[in-house]
A and B are shown apart, each in its own frame.
Chain A
Amino acid sequence: MDKLHLDQHISKQFNADLEELKTQMLEMGGVVEQQIIDAVKAIETADGALADKVLRVENDVDNREMKLDEHCTLILARRQPAASDLRMVLAVAKTNRDLERMGDEAHKIAKMAIALNEQGGAPGGYTELRHIGSGVQKMVNMALDAFARYDVEAALQVVQEDKNIDREYESAMREMMTYMMEDPRSIKRVMNVIWALRSLERIGDHARNVAEHIIYLVKGLDVRHVSVSEVEKQLNGS
């Protein structure tokens, strides 16, 4: 059920506008999600063709971002939304930006995949890429799902998961350092793995942002820039 009753306006056109807004955003989310999956697979399996495909999707994502922004602007201008409607438009506009940034990071990972291919691969780091990659994919998937269902519990899980990703990223960084110290000739190639890991970690941050937008949308609480335990506390108190 639609917990926010976004489909219960007296104006049917407004219901349709908001529904369309959400659909557009989730479609864009789907495209970006696939872009991330492909980018991680391309770097893991040294698949240059797949990396190229990721690069080509960027235009599509940029166009979707602009279209969605325009749609948000039109709703603001035409309807002057308030309360949950206003939070919906703001949450979509902000999520839109985060999704576009995730697309940018996927693009960077694909570029690293191509560079590594040309350099004959890295001495290590693939396990970490696979592991963090799958964790981040799960976060993005969960965040989009939570948005579709206005599910605050699931959004909170995404916020919590980001902490694990950050921890694993730190540990992967230490691992990469040892590769570089062991064989300084590998620095350039290991650096490419590091950039890819860094991009994955950033995607995790954006997924967390999306989860925060969902909490704002559903509960009206601004939980940015606070610790996970503080988010939990605020949600339990609301």
Chain B
Amino acid sequence: MTNEIVYDATVGRPLLDDAKMSMRGVNVFYADKQAIHSVDLDIGKNQVIALIGPSGCGKSTFLRSLNRMNDTIDICRVEGHLMLEGQDIYDPKLDVVPLRARVGMVFQKPNPFPKSIYDNVAYGPRIHGLASRRIDLDEIVESSLQKAGLWNEVKDRLHAPGTGLSGGQQQRLCIARTIAVSPEVILMDEPCSALDPIATAKVEELIAELSQNITIAIVTHSMQQAARVSERTAYFHMGHLVEVNDTEKVFTNPEHPLTEAYITGRFG
């Protein structure tokens, strides 16, 4: 027999004064099934927020609603207010292509295009018309690869296929591709789950550097990763946002018993 869990309001501090993104009363449905239940959450400017929770808790669904990635799923419906610096990102008049340049995404499995390393990074700036001359494009490609910590490893083979790189390099290539269009926010959906510890450490290092001027929301199954890279942590449970607090607090003295049970590996 299972006890019915009653979800009260999110504990901790879900709202902020200087939010980059503000979500209020967010509900997400897949057909009739509700995957996210009235979530209120602010994401601080140039902060890293980790979204954690057991499989199926809705953290990836929530993340994907932040740049309308869920639009591609026919049966998915998003309700509520999701604002990027005061702009409603679900405004029907809004073009999602520039939105996804402002709010970029990095996925669990590295997914470089079947093109050269150079073209992978140049793809975004080309379609968004960010560089008119070849020399400008070269500069964007180089600086993006530099920022992604990949330049030294690939500078002599920029025209080799991106798919020929190792898993960790491919993931950093995908990050370079994302930052090439100067996003304000990057959403990362378990970006290290397919990587070894060294490649993971490099990506985590990159997250710390990027967060100096980019806002980052990361979904991760690794508690230690959430503890290492984020300033705030949000715990989701069965579609409800249970707790949001400073990461330090969540991992030393969480407020909600469900958070405690999850991060310590107890039966919740």
Q: Which residues from chain A sit less than 8 Å from chain B, CB to CB?
A: 5, 8-11, 14, 80-87, 220
Evaluate contact between B264 and A85: CB separation under 8 angstroms: yes
| B92 at interface, CB cutoff 8 A | no
- The distance from the CB of A137 to the nearest CB of chain B, in whole angstroms, is 33
Stretch at the interface among B107-115, B133-141, B248-256: B248-256
Chain A residues within an 8 Å CB radius of B227: 82
Interface residue from A9, A80, A86 paired with B266 (Cβ < 8 Å)? A9
For the side of the interface on B, what is the size category? 10 to 19
Evaluate contact between A82 and B251: CB separation under 8 angstroms: yes
Q: Which residue, A8, A82, A84, has most C-beta atoms of chain B within 10 A?
A: A82
Q: Which residue, B251, B254, B266, has most C-beta atoms of chain A within 10 A?
A: B266
Tell me, in angstroms, the Cα distance from A82 to B249 when the chains sit together: 10
Evaluate contact between A11 and B265: CB separation under 8 angstroms: yes
Evaluate contact between A83 and B254: CB separation under 8 angstroms: yes
Tell me, in angstroms, the Cα distance from A5 to B258 when the chains sit together: 12
Per the 8 Å Cβ criterion, residues 222-240 of B in contact with A are 223-224, 227
Chain A residues within an 8 Å CB radius of B254: 83
Judged by DSSP, the binding face of B is helix
Evaluate contact between A83 and B265: CB separation under 8 angstroms: no
- The distance from the CB of A223 to the nearest CB of chain B, in whole angstroms, is 13
Evaluate contact between B251 and A9: CB separation under 8 angstroms: no
Evaluate contact between B224 and A83: CB separation under 8 angstroms: no
Tell me, in angstroms, the Cα distance from A37 to B259 when the chains sit together: 44
Tell me, in angstroms, the Cα distance from A206 to B224 when the chains sit together: 33
| B190 at interface, CB cutoff 8 A | no
Evaluate contact between A86 and B267: CB separation under 8 angstroms: no
Chain B residues within an 8 Å CB radius of A82: 223, 227, 251-252, 263-264
| B204 at interface, CB cutoff 8 A | no
Evaluate contact between B253 and A8: CB separation under 8 angstroms: no
Per the 8 Å Cβ criterion, residues 42-69 of B in contact with A are none
Evaluate contact between B252 and A10: CB separation under 8 angstroms: no
Tell me, in angstroms, the Cα distance from A188 to B259 when the chains sit together: 60
Nearest first, the 8 A-B pairs at minimum CB distance are: A220-B253, A8-B266, A82-B263, A82-B251, A85-B264, A83-B260, A83-B264, A10-B265
